[in-house]
């Protein structure tokens, strides 16, 4: 190849054949090679997309807060809100993946990792206290469903005084 057929890219500084450069509208070759221009454009598009997503996110939070200030039936239930957020994050598995990525991206022994672990402990503790440790009804056997139903019926009957509370001690009998 002769030197007339080569051009230096202003980004990567490589001497490349002229066909490795895009032709501008005025007929001249761009200063950056196709590879470097493509990479620059990919980064620009990603940055633009991230900025749009940030604006959408901020607008959505602002809209939600505005509705929440009004109160009433427009405010979603906490469970509905968490469920929708988890859905957008790819479900429980997606949320777990994001959580672990942030955990491993944080410096070992750092305050951020410690806070993340404390948050996870609180989340699991509260979830367990609310009955989250029980397996979902869809995984229960017929026997487990029958036992749970029987237990709840007995508790309800005791509360409405249809049955005596077996937990109360029987009065002492005189002998």
Q: What is the pLDDT of residues 43-100, one digit of tens each?
A: 999 999 999 988 888 888 888 777 777 766 666 677 777 788 888 888 888 888 888 9
Residue 29: per-residue pLDDT: 93
pLDDT confidence tier of residue 40, bands split at 50, 70 and 90: very high
On the question of pLDDT at 122 being above 60, the answer is yes
Could you state, in order of their start, the residue ranges of all structural domains in the chain?
30-73, 76-131
Residue 1: per-residue pLDDT: 44
Rg (CA), the chain: 32
Q: Considering Cα of 131, then 137, then 143, then 149, what sign does the dihedral take?
A: positive
């Amino acid at each position: 190849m002769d030197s007339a057929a080569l051009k230096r890219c202003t980004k990567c500084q490589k001497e490349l054949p002229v066909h490795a450069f895009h032709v501008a509208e005025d007929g001249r070759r761009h200063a950056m090679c196709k590879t470097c221009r493509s990479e620059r454009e990919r980064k620009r598009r990603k940055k633009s997309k991230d900025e749009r997503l940030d604006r959408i996110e901020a607008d959505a939070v602002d809209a939600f807060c505005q509705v929440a200030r009004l109160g009433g039936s427009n405010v979603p239930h906490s469970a509905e809100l968490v469920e929708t957020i988890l859905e957008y994050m790819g479900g429980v598995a997606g949320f777990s993946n994001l959580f672990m990525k942030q955990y491993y991206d944080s410096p070992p022994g750092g305050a951020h990792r410690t806070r993340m672990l404390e948050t996870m402990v609180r989340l699991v503790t509260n979830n367990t206290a609310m009955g989250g440790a029980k397996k979902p009804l869809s995984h229960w056997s017929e026997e487990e469903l029958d036992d749970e139903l029987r237990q709840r019926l007995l508790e309800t009957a005791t509360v409405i005084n249809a049955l005596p509370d077996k937990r109360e001690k029987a009065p002492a009998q005189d002998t």
